Amino acid sequence: MALEIPKVKYTGTIKEITVGTGTNAVTVGGETCYPFHMFEGKMPNAPRIAFEVWDHEPQEWQEWAVEPFKDVIHDPPAWAKKCINVYGAEIIALQLVSADPNGMDRGVEEIVKVVKDVADTVTVPLIVWGCSDDEKDAVLLRRVAEVCEGKNVALGPLSEKNYKQIGAVAIAYGHAVLASSPIDVNLAKQLNILLGNLGVPDEKILVDPTTGGLGYGLEYSYSVIERDRMAALTQEDVKLQYPVVCNLAQEVWKTKETRLTEADDPKLGKERQRSILMESVGAMSFLIAGADIVIMRHPESVALVKDMIKDLTT
């Protein structure tokens, strides 16, 4: 009996989405096969890693997470610049954490100023990630869209509740959007349909399936992404044929297993390496499931995952 590896019959292609403009623009998507299944299809654009930058100096980061940025962490534009110039960032994901009404609750204009400063400084594409409060984000991202006009940034997260407001300004100012749904294929599809009805062009939609941290629900996100890809590539589900973005940095770095030191629990080993591996093992899992962009924190995690992407795509 001769060996023949059964091939999957792919009928769909993931749409190619470009973020940013000019020579530094980044295109993701375009896959015609499952992730890294190079023997039966193409991944014309390798998955990308976005470095996260916060809009305000983080208060509760581990020392070993702060360390690579300690000279710039109080200054978002300088922080973003360091990610690009020193750590080779190809995308910056600006997290508007300080907007959170349950946290710092900073005023919209104060944050918009930070966004503008960062947008004017960076030479790579920008993702601007709100605080996941539907109302605040609707107001905030509207202004962000205005000040980033012409830069083709990716704005999000857009939920079922605020997609109209943010979607409309994204169309007006030519930005891409991150359609966010709570770990469910049908809800993801529904929001994509709604965005389409609203007039958001197909080449401007990225999907955020909601990301669970390693040991904290990773498997739910993992399987939703796999199901997304299966529907998109083999079941002609055109409304799921969009690139997937996983915002995993915060989900990993807030867990207690990235906070405990070796002295707290010797069996967990060195805290720095452990946190880096928790972040990069999580990222690898999502990339294997089908993520096109992973948002990460530590430069060493990024370097490790970048190296793996290279190995898996060549």
Partner 1 sequence: MALTGIQIFKLLPKTNCKECKYPTCLAFAMALASGKAELDACAYVTPESRAELSDASAPPIRQVTIGTGDYEVKIGGETVMFRHEKTFFNKPGFAVLVTDAMGDEDVDGRFHRLGEYQYERIGLTLRPELVALKYTGNKERFLALVRRACAEPYSIILMAYDHTVMQEALEIAKARKPLIYAATKDNYERFGILSKASGCPLAVKGEGMEETAVLAEKLTATGLKDLVLDTSTRTVGAGFQEQVGIRRAALMGKYKPLGFPTITFPCEMADTLMKETLIASCFVAKYAGIVVFSDFQGESIFPLLLQRLNIYTDPQRPMTTEQGIYAINNPDRTSPVLVTCNFSLTYFIVSGEIENSRVPGWLCVMDTEGLSVMTAWAAGKFVGDTVGVFLKKSGIAEKVDHRKVIIPGYAAAILGDLEEELPGWEVLVGPREAAHIPAYLKMWK
Residue numbers at the binding site for partner 1 (CB under 8 A): 1, 3-6, 36-39, 60, 102-103, 212, 214-220, 222-223, 226-227, 230, 254-257, 262, 266-271, 273-274, 276-278, 280-282, 284-285, 288-289, 300, 304-305, 307-308, 311-314
**Nearer residue to partner 1 within complex by CB, 173 or 286:** 286
How far is CA 97 from its chain centroid? 15
**Nearer residue to partner 1 within complex by CB, 22 or 266:** 266
For 154, the 3-state DSSP assignment is strand
**Nearer residue to partner 1 within complex by CB, 90 or 271:** 271
Q: Which two tokens stand for residue 215?
A: 């040991």
Task: Report the alpha-carbon distance of residue 61 to residue 250 in Å, rounded.
Answer: 10
**Nearer residue to partner 1 within complex by CB, 137 or 271:** 271
Q: Shortest Cβ distance from residue 59 to partner 1 (Å)? A: 11
Q: Which two tokens stand for residue 56?
A: 């305000």
29 in Cβ contact with 16 (< 8 Å): yes
**Nearer residue to partner 1 within complex by CB, 108 or 303:** 303
The H or E element that residue 139 is part of is helix 134-147
Q: Which two tokens stand for residue 272?
A: 């720095």
Q: Shortest Cβ distance from residue 311 to partner 1 (Å)? A: 4
**Nearer residue to partner 1 within complex by CB, 63 or 219:** 219
Q: For residue 192, which phi and psi values (nearest 5 degrees)?
A: -60, -40
Q: Shortest Cβ distance from residue 292 to partner 1 (Å)? A: 17
Q: Shortest Cβ distance from residue 148 to partner 1 (Å)? A: 26
Q: Which two tokens stand for residue 60?
A: 């509760």
Q: Shortest Cβ distance from residue 73 to partner 1 (Å)? A: 20
Beta bridge partners of 180: 208
**Nearer residue to partner 1 within complex by CB, 149 or 300:** 300
The H or E element that residue 95 is part of is strand 91-95
Q: Shortest Cβ distance from residue 215 to partner 1 (Å)? A: 4
77 in Cβ contact with 53 (< 8 Å): no
Q: Shortest Cβ distance from residue 185 to partner 1 (Å)? A: 10
For 241, the 3-state DSSP assignment is coil
14 in Cβ contact with 241 (< 8 Å): yes
